[in-house]
């Protein structure tokens, strides 16, 4: 890691309630602080001065006028350069950001000293609806103006700047001086090939929180700035689409769980309307330009697709060497899978579309009214089978998914298929309470469903490396550990689309998972190898139906960065 000469810069204008606590936390972190009082009123200005006086590591600069948040940050960065600091932590003075994330931001900056490290906000229920909408709208335009999904919420004021590089960028091209500064500096950094490294940060809106955002004036400024950026983006399209972005090391977007589903609730509603009115073929045609946009701008997902397809070609499962068109067809297949998922949960796919020996095996399990643990994969569309089974037989399902996907999935099911006895359960961290809940569900004859082909979303999640298409790949231990706790029969479920319907494979994996204490790791590895072989058998004849668009044969090393798994 690179040793940084760090300070903090805090812009404030009449924000006093949280300032003392923020300075105390920064003192504990050993950071010198530059506070920029950007024209606070007389009483508040004196209070800011008194607070800073209690913190010997704090330097106060007072402006007799209000130059704006961007102006204050630039002044703070200039002062940081004068004092010889290499990096500056920008911390907003309103107390919204969880300073427990400071260590993660600093670690990311040490691994990526040339990057702007910025908070990727995780909002709680205290965030006003109007703010959420405004942030989503801003994020949409940032994605348009960068042709990228790599930048998080660009209005987050908790970030680390490389001082000299940021000052050079600001002097050259950044025009915004107020609330629009935070956004413009990230977009211009992306254009200039300065890496932007996001780190998740919790954000709250404290009771009685003071906001300096001027609803009319600042929204007008934001609209003007986004318009300027849009026209600036147009002539940069070739370089934005085809040039390789700077590499960032050990940052969460290389993990599947941070590569969020790229779409929005309104998009799903539009998709639903088109499907219901015009059918699947027309809906796919409507989706094609959107998928093309995702394909062109999703470099990380596109490269993961090509890597996977190249491996399948080398293994002899593709007749021709994959091209960009093959990869785009892979994306199109994923779009079709999403459409089939919606159709299934809304009753748009008939049971007669299912065939294969797995259908009878599923019916047999339903008839037994027996609880089961089912392991599936991001292959084909197991949701088609689950939805038809649930809607036709009222078999309650408990689907274990990532926390953000759980929230969206539950909302969609409640709206489009309220009669379905299914719930998504977040498994960012499975604790004893979740295990008890699932054990009770099994005892009631319900099914618990979990994918076996994605690594854990938590940093401490355990993996096992087993062969997959000729090279070691990381698979989660979680399905086998949880199945051993639930003491239920375990099945594998795969469902692949063909021209006329869906082929279902449903087989018993084990009567129960046993993990002996003497060789627990060895037993888990044996189960994972068995699963990987079964998955290979499904994926090999239908490679375009495996939808893991992240570097599957790589993982995050303990030192940060992607590390290839080797035998």
List pLDDT tens digits, range 258-292: 444 444 454 555 666 666 677 777 878 878 887 88
Closest CA to 102 of 33, 191, 184, 179: 33
The total number of residues shown for the chain amounts to 567
Q: Which of the four pLDDT bands, split at 50, 70 and 90, describes residue 215?
A: low
Q: Which of the four pLDDT bands, split at 50, 70 and 90, describes residue 445?
A: confident
Residue 410 has pLDDT above 90, yes or no: no
Asked if 38 contacts 63 with a C-beta cutoff of 8 angstroms, the reply is: yes
Q: What percent of the chain has pLDDT over 90?
A: 39
Q: Which of the four pLDDT bands, split at 50, 70 and 90, describes residue 541?
A: very high
pLDDT score of 283 = 79
Burial of residue 540 (CB within 10 Å: 0-12, 13-18, 19+) is middle
pLDDT score of 257 = 41
Q: ∠ CA 7-13-14 to the nearest 5 degrees?
A: 120
Closest CA to 253 of 115, 420, 53: 115
Distances (CA, A) of 221 to 93, 178, 218, 228, 388: 22, 8, 5, 11, 50
Report d(CA 534, CA 539) in Å as an integer: 9
Pick from 173-187, 419-433, 467-481: least confident = 419-433
pLDDT score of 348 = 73
Residue 138 has pLDDT above 60, yes or no: yes
pLDDT score of 125 = 67
Q: Which of the four pLDDT bands, split at 50, 70 and 90, describes residue 459?
A: very low
Residue 22 has pLDDT above 90, yes or no: yes
Mean pLDDT, residues 127-133 taken together? 69
Provide the 8-state DSSP code for 147. T
pLDDT score of 272 = 62
pLDDT score of 254 = 41
H/E stretch holding 194 reads none
Q: How far apart are the first and last CA of the chain?
A: 27
pLDDT score of 258 = 40
Residue 498 has pLDDT above 50, yes or no: yes
Asked if 69 contacts 212 with a C-beta cutoff of 8 angstroms, the reply is: yes
pLDDT score of 542 = 94
Residue 363 has pLDDT above 60, yes or no: yes
Q: How many CB atoms lie within 10 A of CB 247?
A: 12
Residue scoring higher pLDDT (480 or 298) = 480
Q: Which of the four pLDDT bands, split at 50, 70 and 90, describes residue 153?
A: confident
Report d(CA 322, CA 331) in Å as an integer: 13
Q: Which residues contact 131 (CB under 8 A, 6 or more apart)?
A: 205
Residue scoring higher pLDDT (153 or 430) = 153
pLDDT score of 362 = 84
Closest CA to 248 of 343, 359, 347, 112: 112
Averaging pLDDT over each range in 88-102, 350-364, 442-456, which range is the top one?
A: 88-102
Strand ranges (E), 124-195: 158-162
Average per-residue pLDDT for the chain: 82
pLDDT score of 268 = 56
- pLDDT tens-digit readout, 65-96: 888 999 999 999 999 999 999 999 999 988 88
Residue 563 has pLDDT above 50, yes or no: no
Residue 556 has pLDDT above 90, yes or no: no
Closest CA to 307 of 543, 524, 535, 559: 543
Q: Which of the four pLDDT bands, split at 50, 70 and 90, describes residue 420?
A: low
Q: Which of the four pLDDT bands, split at 50, 70 and 90, describes residue 406?
A: very low
Averaging pLDDT over each range in 73-82, 118-127, 208-217, 288-297, which range is the top one?
A: 73-82
DSSP 421-487: -EEEEE-SS--HHHHHHHHHHHHTT-EEEEESSS--SSTT--EEEEEETTEEEEEESHHHHHHHHHT
Q: What is the dihedral sign for C-alpha 210, 213, 215, 216?
A: positive
Mean pLDDT, residues 232-254 taken together? 72
Pick from 56-70, 420-434, 513-527: least confident = 420-434
Residue carrying structure tokens 């999640």? 461
Structure tokens that stand for 168 in this block: 């050079």
Strands 554-556 and 502-510: unpaired
Q: Which of the four pLDDT bands, split at 50, 70 and 90, describes residue 372?
A: very high
Asked if 490 contacts 373 with a C-beta cutoff of 8 angstroms, the reply is: yes
Q: Which of the four pLDDT bands, split at 50, 70 and 90, describes residue 6?
A: very high
């Amino acid at each position: 890691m690179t040793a940084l000469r760090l300070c903090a810069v805090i812009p404030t204008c009449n924000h006093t309630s949280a300032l003392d606590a923020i300075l105390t936390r920064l003192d504990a972190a050993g950071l010198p602080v530059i506070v920029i009082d950007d024209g606070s009123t007389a009483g508040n200005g004196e209070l800011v001065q008194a607070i800073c006086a209690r913190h010997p590591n704090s330097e106060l600069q007072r402006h007799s006028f209000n130059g704006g948040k961007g102006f204050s940050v630039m002044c703070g960065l200039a002062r940081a350069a004068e004092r010889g600091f290499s990096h500056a932590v920008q911390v907003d003075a309103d107390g919204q950001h969880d300073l427990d994330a400071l260590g993660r931001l600093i670690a990311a900056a040490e691994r990526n000293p040339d990057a702007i490290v910025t908070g990727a906000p995780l909002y709680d229920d205290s965030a006003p609806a109007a703010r959420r909408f405004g942030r989503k709208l801003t994020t949409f335009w940032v994605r348009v103006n960068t042709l990228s999904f790599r930048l998080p919420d660009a209005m987050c004021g908790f970030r680390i700047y490389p001082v000299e590089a940021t000052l050079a960028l600001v002097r050259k091209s950044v025009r915004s001086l107020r609330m629009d500064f935070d956004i413009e500096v990230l977009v211009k950094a992306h254009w200039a090939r300065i890496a932007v490294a996001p780190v998740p940060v919790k954000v709250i809106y404290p009771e009685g929180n003071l906001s300096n955002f001027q609803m009319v004036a600042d929204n007008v400024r934001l609209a003007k700035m986004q318009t300027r950026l849009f026209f600036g983006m147009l002539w940069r399209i070739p370089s934005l689409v085809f040039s390789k972005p700077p590499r960032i090391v050990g940052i969460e977007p290389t993990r599947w769980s941070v590569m969020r589903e790229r779409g929005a609730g309104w998009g799903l509603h539009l998709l639903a309307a088109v499907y219901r009115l015009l059918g699947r073929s027309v809906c796919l045609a409507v989706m094609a330009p959107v998928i093309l946009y995702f394909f062109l701008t999703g470099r990380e997902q596109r490269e993961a697709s090509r890597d996977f397809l190249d491996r399948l070609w080398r293994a002899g499962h593709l007749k021709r060497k994959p091209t960009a068109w093959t990869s785009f067809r892979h994306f199109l297949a994923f779009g079709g899978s999403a459409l089939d998922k919606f159709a299934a949960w809304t009753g748009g796919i008939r049971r007669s579309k299912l065939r294969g020996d797995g259908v009878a095996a599923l019916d047999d399990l339903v008839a037994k009214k027996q609880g089961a643990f089912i392991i599936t994969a991001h292959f084909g569309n197991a949701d088609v089978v689950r939805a038809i089974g649930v809607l036709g037989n009222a078999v309650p399902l408990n689907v274990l998914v990532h926390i953000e996907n759980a929230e969206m999935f539950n909302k969609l099911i409640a709206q489009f298929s309220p009669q379905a006895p299914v719930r998504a359960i977040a498994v960012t961290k499975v604790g004893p309470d979740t295990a008890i809940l699932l054990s009770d569900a099994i005892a009631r004859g319900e099914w618990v469903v979990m994918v076996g082909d994605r690594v854990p979303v938590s940093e401490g999640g355990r993996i096992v490396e087993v062969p997959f298409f000729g090279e070691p790949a990381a698979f989660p231990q979680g399905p086998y550990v949880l199945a051993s706790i639930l003491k239920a029969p375990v099945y594998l479920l795969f469902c692949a689309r063909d021209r006329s319907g869906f082929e279902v494979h449903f087989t018993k994996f084990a009567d129960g998972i046993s993990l002996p204490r003497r060789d627990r790791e060895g037993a888990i590895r044996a189960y994972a190898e068995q699963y990987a072989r079964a998955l290979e058998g499904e994926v090999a004849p239908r490679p375009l139906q495996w939808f893991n668009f992240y570097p599957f044969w790589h993982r995050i090393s303990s030192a940060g960065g992607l590390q290839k798994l080797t035998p």
